[in-house]
Structure 1
Amino acid sequence: MKRFILIKQSHLQNNIVMQNEQFNFKAAKEQIDLVYYIVSLGFQYSKQNHHDYWFKSPLHEEHTASFKVDRRRQIWYDHGTGQGGDLIDFIKAFHRCDFKESLTKLQEYLGLNPSTMEAKNKQNIEQDNFENADKHIHIIAERSVQKYYLRQYIQSRHISISIAEKFLKEVDYSLKERNYTALGFANNDGGYELRNKYFKGSSMPKAPTIISLTEGKNDISQQSLSVFEGFFSILSFLELLEKDKHFTEKPDSILVLNSLSFLNKSQDLILSFGQIDMYLDGDTAGKKATKHALSWSEKISDCSHLYESFKDLNTYLVPQDLQCKEQEEPKISYGLRR
């Protein structure tokens, strides 16, 4: 691994360069303002009280800001889930990765932001005009997935392009007066879940997605439904289904909640099916939601035991897929369209 050190290049900026030494993540952490890091991911704080900044949680859907960052101490706490910690803990929770991967994410972030990070950290966040920035994502255009870096991102998640193309689009969107491109997964109300390697967000309206996979059964009470939390989980499920790993029967329909907050709102729809299998994430929030859903009816089954000890179906899929080899990532800023 490599170490980042600061070298003066001019009176305008400092630049971060890599030396052939061990990466010093403690020193790197000290160069990053946690509030700015979260804002750079596309999230805006809702209020500020002294050193405390309150966000609607980047880790789950919510209507009232319960995610607090203590900027003085550079720590965070999510009152909705009970999680908390420092920058590394946030990277691990947000990207759903382990400690080793979080260091890679930190290196990538520093490498992609050499000209702006130091200058931004010397400013007050309040003066960066976040309140006046456009807080909503606006969809500009959609098309089939064509860009190399998006197709590579799909493959890095061990999803085949043939499966991904059935459900994902390449979406151009604007945020804070800048244009970007990401993978888009459409919901039933016309909004998108947006993902690329460095961004996780949603366009309005936010809603679940229900997809019919089979035809011929008119009576919904005779149909089967599989419920997932996010779209990479259903893509992983279909990938595993194709490989005959555990999942031998294709459900008649799939429901992607796109947020656990839609579970209760989808109760009537879920219970209208004759057989319901739950494939929610294996974290605390996912297990709690699954337990809640099981209380609704005996026809609901918890299938998370099939990927026990993994955070979700995608993290289960990756070590199982020995055919897919990781490719070297191009060192460019993904998603930005100039």
Structure 2
Amino acid sequence: MNCEQIKKKISIRSVLESFNLYPEKQNSKTAFYFAIDREEKKPSLCVDFVKNKAFDFGTGKSYDVVSIVQQMNKCSVSEALEYLKKFDIPVNSLNINRNESNKNYKILEVKEIEHPALVQYLKARKVFEQRHLVKEIHYQMNGKPYFGIGFYNNSGGIEIRNKYLKICLGKKDVTFIKNHNVKKEICVFEGYFDFLTYLRLPNAQNSNSDFLILNSTAMFFKIEEELKEYEKIVLFLDNDLNGKNLTEEIINKYESVEDCSVLYRSFKDLNVWFLSNLKEWQ
């Protein structure tokens, strides 16, 4: 495909999801995202799934899939096109209604982590010891085979990660892990790599907390009522705008909340902080 064909055929939603970006508000044809070039408190990036384009009301900039990759990766057009080669997903074949599973994929195999690339990725993130909590997922999209590290959510969707990609196969949802602690304490994470990282910390060995992995801050609405049942909420959210905004919302909404992001205030998230302080835990 040439550049113009790519702009029309590859789903702008899938490209945004590859950067772990999800809508804050949406309907069947459009959605609002937070801006991709700055921090903001209200989402201003309007994405038109029919036209496969986005418009930032804050700056007046228009985006297509190529310019989104350029902005996110700070790269040239040719480098953006190279990044987009792995998608090749026609816009019209995607299920725009995210309340139903995306039917544009097929799971080929689910097994324990053994592919060298995935083993290396887990080791690079220093969570290889927690590999029993994830799976090696081989899947097909538009007839092309792919693979990645899979983590299941409560709706049976699979959060797929590898060195180059972040997507969700199926319905987006949270992952709730209950340890029968009678609703005393729950630890909340934004992504599952932070959850796996937490399990490597010394204090985690004696913890009987329940765990909530949001898989996206946009999924918080699914669980906010159930959180009221806990005596204490412990937050390990990212130190970006979305994470900070949600942290503030939770602190204002619930009685007993501990914000642990202060431990890694100079880092993007818990995993990045852990990698920088690994010697302390060895």
Relative to the length of structure 2, the TM-score reads 0.71
Q: 1:309 aligns with which of 258, 266, 270?
A: 266
Instruction: For 1:175 and 1:129, locate their aligned partners in 2 and report how far apart those are by CA, in whole Å.
Output: 7
CA contact (8 A) 1:55 1:68 kept: no
Letter in 2 for 1:231: Y
1:229 is matched with 190
RMSD over aligned CA atoms reads 3.9
Greater C-alpha radius of gyration: 1
Instruction: For 1:67 and 1:137, locate their aligned partners in 2 and report how far apart those are by CA, in whole Å.
Output: 25
Q: What secondary structure sits across from 1:239 in the alignment?
A: coil
1:133 Cα deviation after fit:
4.6
Cα deviation code 1:4-52 (max 9, x no counterpart): xxxxxxxxxxxxxxxxxxxxxxxxxxxx969959x8xxx6137xxxxxx
Corresponding position: 1:199 with 2:159: no
Relative to the length of structure 1, the TM-score reads 0.60
1:132 Cα deviation after fit:
4.6
Instruction: For 1:194 and 1:200, locate their aligned partners in 2 and report how far apart those are by CA, in whole Å.
Output: 6
Instruction: For 1:294 and 1:34, locate their aligned partners in 2 and report how far apart those are by CA, in whole Å.
Output: 46
Cα deviation code 1:37-96 (max 9, x no counterpart): 9x8xxx6137xxxxxxx9679442224444699xxxxx978735979997565027xxxx
Corresponding position: 1:209 with 2:175: yes
C-alpha change, 1:67 and 1:56, in structure 2 (3 Å) is farther
1:26 is matched with none
Letter in 2 for 1:228: F
C-alpha change, 1:322 and 1:262, in structure 2 (3 Å) is same
Unaligned runs of 5+ in 1: 1-31, 47-53, 70-74, 93-102, 121-127, 325-338
C-alpha change, 1:194 and 1:59, in structure 2 (3 Å) is closer
1:293 is matched with 250
- Give the length in aligned residue pairs: 240
CA contact (8 A) 1:139 1:203 kept: no
CA contact (8 A) 1:208 1:262 kept: yes
Of all paired residues, the percent bearing the same amino acid is 27
1:152 Cα deviation after fit:
0.4
C-alpha change, 1:200 and 1:323, in structure 2 (3 Å) is same
Corresponding position: 1:90 with 2:72: yes
1:149 is matched with 117
Q: 1:250 aligns with which of 207, 219, 237?
A: 207
Instruction: For 1:232 and 1:258, locate their aligned partners in 2 and report how far apart those are by CA, in whole Å.
Output: 10
Letter in 1 for 2:120: Q
Aligned residue runs from structure 1 range 1-338, under 5 A = 44-45=11-12, 58-62=19-23, 63=26, 64-66=30-32, 79=44, 89-91=71-73, 117=82, 130-133=90-93, 136-159=104-127, 161-165=128-132, 167-212=133-178, 214-215=179-180, 217=181, 219-220=182-183, 223-241=184-202, 250-322=207-279
C-alpha change, 1:210 and 1:34, in structure 2 (3 Å) is farther
1:205 Cα deviation after fit:
1.5
Unaligned runs of 5+ in 2: 46-55, 62-66, 96-103
CA contact (8 A) 1:134 1:176 kept: no
1:256 Cα deviation after fit:
0.3
